[in-house]
Homo-oligomer: A and B are copies of this chain.
Amino acid sequence: MMISRTLAADLPRHVGERTRIAGWLHRRRELKSVTFLVLRDRSGLAQVVLTEPSAIAATAGLPEETVLDVVGTVTANPQAPGGAELTEPTVTALSDPAKPPPFDLYRPAARATLPTVLDHASVALRHPKLRAPFEISAASVAGFRATLDELGFTEIQTPKIVESATESGANVFGIDYFGRPAYLAQSPQFFKQAVVGVFERVHEVGPVFRAEPHDTTRHLAQYTSLDAEFGYITDHRDVMVVLRDVIAGMVASVAARAAAAVELLDVTLPVVPQAIPQLHFAEAQELLAANSGEDPRGEPDLAPAHERWLSEWAAREHGSDFLFVTGYPMVKRPFYTHPDPARPAYSNSFDLLFRGLELVTGGQRLHRYSDYLAALAARGGNPAAYESYLSTFAHGMPPHGGFAIGLERWTARLVGASNIRETTLFPRDLNRLSP
């Protein structure tokens, strides 16, 4: 009779039983009269003990990473991973003998350069420490959705092929669409706003595309955007309240669903304050001018160095890994941004900084058709180019806003990766189009 498979992590619950495990041969250790096979499956590692000379000989030629099926007796052993091992095993290979991986997967640290990892991703990411960020990433996405579901948001899917560039003509990929020109969507912005009229509250997790001409550690040609948009807000502060809950939900989900990965990578999960500290853009500039040794006043945006300084300030003064900077100047925000009614040169928008880096951008959007026409006119934009988007606002739209979180950037910051490619399974950039 076929014995169903037991995961490595569950072995201790089967001591004394004849049990089947299956996994990759993570490591073989040959002692004088005993050979240990360490198998790796999705739950962890399991040790198999071979003492019969014929059994040792039969597995002697099997290289690491070969896939094995092992039936044996579960025996308690405090020195084995998890406190139990398989003895008296019958070993069957499920794959051909494996070609050696590009670096040793069994070593506690992954001794490989980033290009080696990326070139051989489907093998390299088997290393538990290289796989762990993606478990944290998956748990983060689950937390994002769970929080918004609870708040009555509806999940949507929007087109990734669009007739014209979403926000600007720059950095878009062109497509041959049945002989017509089309583009890959830089964001679901227009679509998610449009369906606020249908569902009130929507979220989408999906790919967005930027033809980034620069090769940096934090830009990709495709990344995963966690988008939310909702109506019936007073202003951007309502959006910040929801975003705070979403971030807290993501952290809680990582703690609950990816605990082993968090431990393996020695990640310190952030505490999300009930009220994340916030600074108005103008206040932030004053603070920088008074304390940072630089005077950025008059600049329309914050430089990365300023974001780092402000993040350190928030950690020092408020004990927070997060900081909202609100009220960015309208001149640096897209045309659909809602101005601050009291100070129209500033916007009802925000960035959320996390450990020194801009992680989320969001804010209130315009919701009146007449305001859109005026905003486009003031910027020299052509309303005809946005006709189907704009028409929605003529049909009755509530005050609304939303935000977008870059998933790979979030995970990179969380696990302390210096390059966003470490948290992307198969990155796409200026130079990389495969694997």
8 A Cβ contacts from A374-408 to B: 388-389, 391-392, 394-399, 407
- The reply to whether the CB of A138 lies closer than 8 angstroms to some CB of chain B is yes
- Complex interface: stretch among A149-157, A263-271, A343-351, A357-365: A149-157
Is the Cβ of A42 less than 8 Å from the Cβ of B201? yes
Inter-chain pairs besides A96-B396, A122-B392, A163-B433, 7 sampled, C-beta below 8 Å: A94-B399, A122-B194, A122-B391, A135-B154, A157-B224, A157-B425, A160-B207
Distance in angstroms between the alpha carbons of A120 and B194 in the assembled complex = 10
Residues of A in contact (CB 8 Å), total: 91
For the complex formed by this chain, how many copies does it contain in all?
A: 2
- The reply to whether the CB of A353 lies closer than 8 angstroms to some CB of chain B is no
Distance in angstroms between the alpha carbons of A135 and B182 in the assembled complex = 29
- The reply to whether the CB of A415 lies closer than 8 angstroms to some CB of chain B is no
Q: Which residues of chain B come closer than 8 Å to A142, judged between CB atoms?
A: 145, 149, 155
Choose from B99, B157, B174, B407 the contact partner of A407 (Cβ within 8 Å).
Answer: B157
Closest residue of B by beta carbon distance from A394: B99
- Complex interface: stretch among A123-131, A279-287, A310-318: A123-131
- The reply to whether the CB of A141 lies closer than 8 angstroms to some CB of chain B is yes
- The reply to whether the CB of A277 lies closer than 8 angstroms to some CB of chain B is no
Is the Cβ of B396 less than 8 Å from the Cβ of A435? no
- The reply to whether the CB of A246 lies closer than 8 angstroms to some CB of chain B is no
Choose from B176, B178, B197, B211 the contact partner of A178 (Cβ within 8 Å).
Answer: B211
Is the Cβ of A125 less than 8 Å from the Cβ of B198? yes
22 pairs of residues in contact across A and B, judged by CB atoms under 8 Å: A5-B232, A22-B232, A42-B201, A67-B398, A94-B398, A95-B367, A95-B368, A98-B396, A123-B395, A134-B199, A135-B154, A142-B149, A157-B207, A161-B173, A163-B434, A174-B176, A175-B175, A178-B211, A178-B221, A178-B430, A206-B206, A388-B434
